[in-house]
């Protein structure tokens, strides 16, 4: 069964350093999401791509976070500079539109990258 891949699985960095996370969605999935999940809370959407275009980045802290999906396949999320409050799990998910009278999407999540900022 195809799965969403993410790397690295764990990352420890010092504040003010730059970090980058990579996500490879399920083949053929046009929609890709990046979430941040703080321990004990639900995932918070950071950015959503449809193919290579950003659909929603309203919750992305653009002063330090950036995301790209240049060829509409894999994606990179970057933080520069990292701050202590960025310590969290960063989850990537992908989806494809399912049929029916209402077009809606089932998301499949990757294993996540756990970030610790010291």
Partner 1 sequence: GENVEQHPSTLSVQEGDSAVIKCTYSDSASNYFPWYKQELGKRPQLIIDIRSNVGEKKDQRIAVTLNKTAKHFSLHITETQPEDSAVYFCAASTNYGQNFVFGPGTRLSVLP
Name the residues that contact partner 1, by CB under 8 A. 31, 33, 40-45, 48, 50, 55-56, 58, 91, 95, 97, 100-112
Residues 6+ apart with CB under 8 A from 67: 34, 46, 47, 49, 54, 57, 60, 75, 76, 77, 78
Smallest gap from residue 63 Cβ to partner 1 (A):
21
Q: Are 32 and 107 in contact (CB under 8 A)?
A: no
Tokens of 63: 């002063």
Looking at beta carbons only, is 30 or 81 nearer to partner 1? 30
Cα–Cα distance list, 95 to 18, 79, 108, 118 (Å): 28, 24, 6, 34
Cα gap 84→61, rounded to integer Å: 14
Report the nearest approach of partner 1 to the CB of residue 98 (Å): 9
Query: Cβ 80 to partner 1, closest distance in Å?
Result: 26
Q: Which is nearer to partner 1, 36 or 86 (CB)?
A: 36
The residue (of 14 and 56) whose beta carbon lies closer to partner 1 is 56
Q: Measured from the CB of residue 58, what is the shortest distance to partner 1 in angstroms?
A: 8
CB-wise, 75 or 95, nearer to partner 1? 95
């Amino acid at each position: 069964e195809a799965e969403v891949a993410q790397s690295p699985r764990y990352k420890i960095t010092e504040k003010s350093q730059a970090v980058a996370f990579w996500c490879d969605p399920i083949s053929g999935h046009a929609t890709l999401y990046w979430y941040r999940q703080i321990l004990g809370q639900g995932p918070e959407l950071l950015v959503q791509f449809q193919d290579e275009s950003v659909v929603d980045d309203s919750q992305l802290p653009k002063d330090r976070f950036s995301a790209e999906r240049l060829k509409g396949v894999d994606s990179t999320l970057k933080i520069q500079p990292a701050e202590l409050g960025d310590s969290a799990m960063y989850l990537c998910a992908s989806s494809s539109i399912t049929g029916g009278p209402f077009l809606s999407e089932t998301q499949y999540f990757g294993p996540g990258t756990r970030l610790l900022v010291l």
